[in-house]
Amino acid sequence: MHPLYILLLWPLVLYTPSPSAADDTLKAGQALAAGDKLVSSNGKFALGFFRPSMISKSGTNIISPNWYLGIWFNRKPVCTPVWVANRENPITGPNLKLTQLKISQDGNLIVSLSNATESTIIWSSTHLVNNINRSTPTSALLLNSGNLKLVVVLVESPSNATLWQSFDYPTDIVLPGAKFGRDKATDLNREAISKKSLIDPGLGSYTIKLGANGMVLTRRNPSVVYWHFFNWPSPKSVVKVIQLINMTLGINPRTQGLINPIYVNNNEEEYYAFTLLNESASTYFSIDISGQVMINVWSEAGQSWQSIYANPLDPCTPYATCGPFTLCSGNLHPYCDCMEGFSHKSPQDWDLDDRTGGCIRNTPLQCTSKKNTINSTDKFHPIARVTLPYEPQSMGNATTQSECAEACLGSCSCTAYSYNSSGCSIWHGELLNVNLNDGIGINAQDVLYLRLAAKDLPSLRNNKRKLNIGVVVAASIIGFGLLILIMLLMIWSKRLKWCGASLHGTQGSGGIIAFRYTDLAHATKKFSEQLGAGGFGSVFKGVLSDLTTIAVKRLDGARQGEKEFRAEVSSLGVIQHINLVKLIGFCCEGDKRLLVYEHMLNGSLDAHIFESSALALNWTTRYQIAIGVARGLSYLHHSCHKRIIHCDIKPHNILLDASFVPKIADFGMAAVVGRDFSRVLTAFRGTVGYLAPEWLAGVPVTPKVDVYSFGMVLLEIISGRRNSADVHSGTGSSGHVEYFPVRAIRKLHEGDVQTLMDPQLHGDFNLEEAERVCKVACWCIQDNEDNRLTMIEAVQILEGLQEVGLPPMPRLLAAMTQSSDGAS
């Protein structure tokens, strides 16, 4: 999943509620039947029987055949269940009219199916009632928090005693006010479990609960812990919780002040909870079908749920999230796909986000055993740069790759092998947890050799598709005729000066769309709303017919614009990453060159750090922007099929989406470097103030020129000022003039990073993170490119996974300060 917005749509098909059921209390002797519902006194939540449904990608309404008792948000057009009683024991349609919710004689809350001869309990609350007077009144209350409580009125006390509450038994959602943790007296540990699919709220594959050392995410079967949230108990535990929430909500300043995190650990209980600072807001935590924990907020503007945070960030981190014989990549949409030679085991389950069944072979393996001889016509298909599957079997006696391949072919149950510096490993049966290197969280370099039937091997399959000579001759004649026809059509439509595909929605190279100029002119209202301008053209806002908001760059200058156009399409058009702006399409008609991008709601980074009129970014947002840009560059330099050097990294070319997630843009100067080469000789390019010294020397450049520019950008992010502006130390006009990057390194050595920080932060920043950013920046701007960090190292240091010492003072930068002194 590497993403970042998820629309949680779970519409419900409900019976029309009866007016008499719009109460928040179910008393002993009363019953709640299908069509009735309890409504909390604030009208925010409802309890009743529902049947899940969803709209498929093809537009078909898929409705579950089963019914459930649950609680959902009452006033939202997109109904979302927050608690389900009978997850594993659904009610079938014919039995719905015979089903009721009521309070039993022993004081339990039950869902029962009753007919003329017998009564069957479908679901029951469980609590101890031995010490409760059975004659005392009992009732169930749906509170304003969404919590369903079963209470008993005690004669000797004016208050009610709680027998049972739904907050103690969460499903896949945790609401504000709910305790998430364990009761030390009763040993109750509140555990959230993902649902099976979009129309099946049954127990899914992933769970989150409070363990001995903090909150953990676990795959249920097989049991595999794949993520730790906090290391509890520790002196900084509460701080870590608050920092996580602030980091989450700090990404989007509009959501700041939304919730208040709580952590309690005493002799009776240990739990985590959160409360709403604004009671009118709607927010919840959930564990998704894919195994990610998400914070979801209701958007009144969009009338939908929006996921403002997901952890782990990479959707491929949860164990086996795509099922057996699949490949996972956070850069794919969707992020799960079948391996070569395999197809979806159940396409309908995949449409419902249930991928536990994974994929199955198109052709069975051709393997037969005769006595001690194994004969196989199977072949191996290499899958490069992946994480190796779960549960390998080491083959110590196989000392070469060919022997390793033979060891796999020697067993009919062997499905793959890998040979690396650690030796030979083979796998039997299903292959789980194979993730592609995506540059988000997965940085794998191993090669997995997948065993396929010979007919499913891509090379052999392509050979079988080769046409015979007669067919080739016939096709050539037909093709020649079509070519003449196309030429005639081009002459006839010369006035359109058309090049490339002409229809909106036509897929071009790399899956991008070829637009007509008239379509883009209409979408942008004849290019009337300008978002910005640069050296190569202007950018305009537009809206497509499907209401997708776009940004259209209209390139100026036939010769220079053509170069940028080709560079942008050839680089950005074939890659995808959460921190790279998405190229939707292009237009090439006559001398018109236009590029169509996803629209970035919050514009470019430079506006937010340099312009006083823009929204000032808090420290958490700046820190996440720094990490995001580093990840994007790491992907370009280390994870692409061919390395891409951006050549013009600067705040103006870093765009921010609605959640302030950074996306690197403007690839018009990008250079592509083959994997077999470390340098590329290219024309001088870039922007003054961000140029690495090797540009000025005229030598072939490496990706380290981007590293240098990134370092300069980091200094501007923390300071909120341009590096090129003069910095005076001392008093009066005779004060010492110092180049800011030089000052940054000097202050870093003095342990005085605080004085470098943007005054608009008002001292509200994490000093450890600030020093980390400053160190990375100063290592990135070293004169000698060999001394600079790689972008992989920069990401690891910024994320706190690697330490780095103090950098030396670059001589060239120090010389700039000296020359500035002489001039003054």
Per-residue pLDDT tens over the stretch 176-200: 999 999 999 888 999 999 999 999 9
Cβ partners under 8 Å of residue 775, min gap 6: 748, 797, 804, 805, 806, 807
Strand partners, 727: 738
Confidence bin at 495 (pLDDT 50/70/90): very low
Region 423-430: mean pLDDT is 95
Contact call for residues 560 and 575 (beta carbons, < 8 A):
no
Q: What is the reported pLDDT for 562?
A: 66
Lowest-confidence region among 342-356, 396-410, 529-543, 805-819 = 805-819
Question: Which of 559 and 699 is assigned the larger pLDDT?
Answer: 699
The model's pLDDT over 267-289, given as tens digits with 9 standing for 90+, comes to 999 998 888 877 778 899 999 99
Q: Which two tokens stand for residue 24?
A: 């928040």
Q: What is the reported pLDDT for 156?
A: 56
Highest mean pLDDT out of 208-217, 511-520, 764-773: 764-773
| Burial group, residue 397, by CB count within 10 angstroms (0-12, 13-18, 19+) | exposed
Q: What is the reported pLDDT for 509?
A: 41
CA-based nearest residue to 653, from 608, 611, 606, 723:
606
Region 68-90: mean pLDDT is 92
Residue type, 318: P
- Phi, psi dihedrals of residue 734, rounded to the nearest 5°: -90, 10
CA distance 8 to 11: 10
The pLDDT of residue 174 is above 90: yes
Helix (H) or strand (E) holding 741: helix 740-750
Question: Which of 195 and 16 is assigned the larger pLDDT?
Answer: 195
CA distance 326 to 1: 13
CA-based nearest residue to 345, from 335, 336, 358:
358
The pLDDT of residue 486 is above 70: no
Structure-token match 């156009």, residue found: 565
Region 223-241: mean pLDDT is 61
Question: Which of 530 and 110 is assigned the larger pLDDT?
Answer: 110
**Catalytic site residues?**
648
Region 721-733: mean pLDDT is 61
Q: What is the reported pLDDT for 611?
A: 79
Region 776-799: mean pLDDT is 92
The model's pLDDT over 581-594, given as tens digits with 9 standing for 90+, comes to 888 888 888 788 88
The pLDDT of residue 244 is above 70: no
Q: What is the reported pLDDT for 573?
A: 65
Structure-token match 């994007």, residue found: 632
Highest mean pLDDT out of 393-407, 508-522, 540-554, 677-691: 393-407
CA distance 177 to 167: 9
Region 706-711: mean pLDDT is 95
CA distance 150 to 683: 75
Q: What is the reported pLDDT for 811?
A: 76
Lowest-confidence region among 16-25, 448-457, 611-620 = 16-25
The pLDDT of residue 756 is above 90: yes
Q: What is the reported pLDDT for 61?
A: 75
Residue 587 has, within 13 A of its CA and on its CB side, a CA count of 26
The Cα-based distances of 403 to 389, 413, 492 in angstroms read 20, 17, 63
Q: Which two tokens stand for residue 200?
A: 């099946």
Percent of the chain with pLDDT over 70: 75
CA-based nearest residue to 641, from 331, 295, 348:
331
The Cα-based distances of 326 to 99, 222, 320, 329, 445 in angstroms read 41, 17, 9, 10, 17
Lowest-confidence region among 576-580, 643-647, 817-821 = 817-821
Q: What is the reported pLDDT for 472?
A: 56
> Would the annotation count 455 as a binding residue?
no
The model's pLDDT over 615-671, given as tens digits with 9 standing for 90+, comes to 788 999 999 999 999 999 998 888 776 778 888 899 999 999 888 899 998 877 777
The pLDDT of residue 498 is above 50: no
CA distance 621 to 608: 11
Q: What is the reported pLDDT for 122?
A: 93
CA-based nearest residue to 756, from 769, 771, 735:
771
The β-bridge relationship of strands 513-514 and 583-589 is parallel
Strand partners, 195: 203
Region 334-349: mean pLDDT is 92
Q: What is the reported pLDDT for 689?
A: 81
The pLDDT of residue 208 is above 90: yes
The model's pLDDT over 26-61, given as tens digits with 9 standing for 90+, comes to 998 899 998 899 999 999 999 999 999 887 666 677
Confidence bin at 3 (pLDDT 50/70/90): very low
Contact call for residues 663 and 602 (beta carbons, < 8 A):
no
Contact call for residues 766 and 626 (beta carbons, < 8 A):
no
CA distance 819 to 817: 5
Percent of the chain with pLDDT over 90: 39
- How far from each other are the two terminal CA atoms of the chain, in whole angstroms? 55
pTM for the predicted model, two decimal places:
0.58
Q: What is the reported pLDDT for 252?
A: 40
Q: What is the reported pLDDT for 281?
A: 82
Q: How does the average pLDDT of the chain come out, rounded? A: 79
